[in-house]
Amino acid sequence: MEKLRIEGGKKLSGRIRISGAKNTVLPILAASLLAESPVSIHRVPQLQDVSTMMKLLATMGVGVVIESANGIAVDATTISEPFAPYELVKTMRASILVLGPLLARTGEAKVSLPGGCAIGARPVNLHVDGMRALGAEVKVEEGYIYAKAKQLIGAHILLDSITVTGTQNLMMAATLAKGKTTLENAAREPEVVDLANFLNAMGAKVSGAGSSIIEIEGVPSLHGVDEYKVIADRIESGTYLIAAAITGGEIELLDTDPKLLEAVLLKLEEAGAKIITGDSSIYLSMEGRRAQAVSFTTAPHPAFPTDMQAQFMAFNSIADGVAIVSETIFENRFMHVPELIRMGADLQIDGHTVIVKGVDKLTGAKVMATDLRASAGLVLAALAAEGETIIDRIYHIDRGYETIEEKLMQLGADIERQP
């Protein structure tokens, strides 16, 4: 099992380019099932989750071709098996995103229930109930969701809670439904907006994405797209900004979008960072200052993202002062806390809150990654720590960060991947 070795204490500086957003690419690949001619997707990051989704499409008889280093062509005209097996779904919860497109396009779907997730339960009832509201017959048995519908019918759907994948799944299904669908209490994340833009590029009629009410006017069919460029990965952007900030350095991000992570930039400025933004760039410098501890609460977009919680907690762990970090999205997203404590952090869990008392320094140690964003938090802590840190089980980080060690080396980090 591969590891990362990091020798900390080096001030990072330089510039890097940000990859396309993982959390947009996955639903867009699923949405390609809706098209009756090929689609071409650009700015696709080379990630384990992307490879898994490509394998999943291929098992359905879909043609998937890597066109370039960051380009994928998908031809769903050859779809033959509307089936998502457990063997693939268990490795990536986003696989459930094929449910809506399969049902709308082929009239049936058999999709494995997602397996366990380290950071907490993500119930599928909102997906199932939503498909039923659109007129599908749905049953859940023997670990699979079975859905059938000769023709989906538009409906008004009030989501019990805000769900990104639920919003995306229902939005995709509704594009081919007869009549109008309204999704109320919809997720507002940029990844939802990008999916809506992709669907509209295929001929869908989706409006309101980015607000809490999304309307979809069903159309008879969707067509391919010659070239669709995915938005920048806002979580990758935030992670590298903190990499520079936690080491007291400076960084310029290229090919990013400052508008996608305003909540994170505000907290970094509150911590003492100097930030300058352009249309597609972000510059950060700590200007020799020690960071000030910053409290925050995770919440759905546009509030502070749960996917940046672990990284900012690592940053707070060597900041000046005390911070209160509250997690409201996932019930088990503090598994990085014991590992940070191994490195000398002063952290105390109290229910859904962690009290972070900044220490003067962290010390390198052997630690274990438990999920994608927790592993990123450990990498950031290791960059700032004195001495060597070994991070085990880094397959987690490969799910969401493209060539992380190469990008960090560009900034001056002493990092290497070990077998």
- Angle at the Cα of 160 from the Cα atoms of 157 and 162, rounded to 5 degrees: 95
DSSP-derived pairing of the beta strands 83-84 and 250-254: unpaired
> Which of these, 341, 313, 328, 161, lies nearest to 242 by C-alpha position?
313
189 is catalytic: no
- Specify the 3-state DSSP secondary structure of 317: helix
CA distances from 112 to 96, 143, 276 (A): 8, 6, 46
The single residue listed with the structure tokens 């001495």 is 387
Instruction: Name the catalytic one among 58, 65, 66, 117.
Output: 117
Residue pair 349/308 in contact (Cβ under 8 Å)? The answer is no
Query: Both tokens of residue 76?
Result: 């769903």
Q: Measure the CA–CA gap between 187 and 189, rounded to whole angstroms.
A: 6
Structural contact between residues 102 and 111, judged by C-beta atoms closer than 8 angstroms = yes
The SS3 assignment for 175 reads coil
User: Annotated catalytic sites, by residue?
Assistant: 117
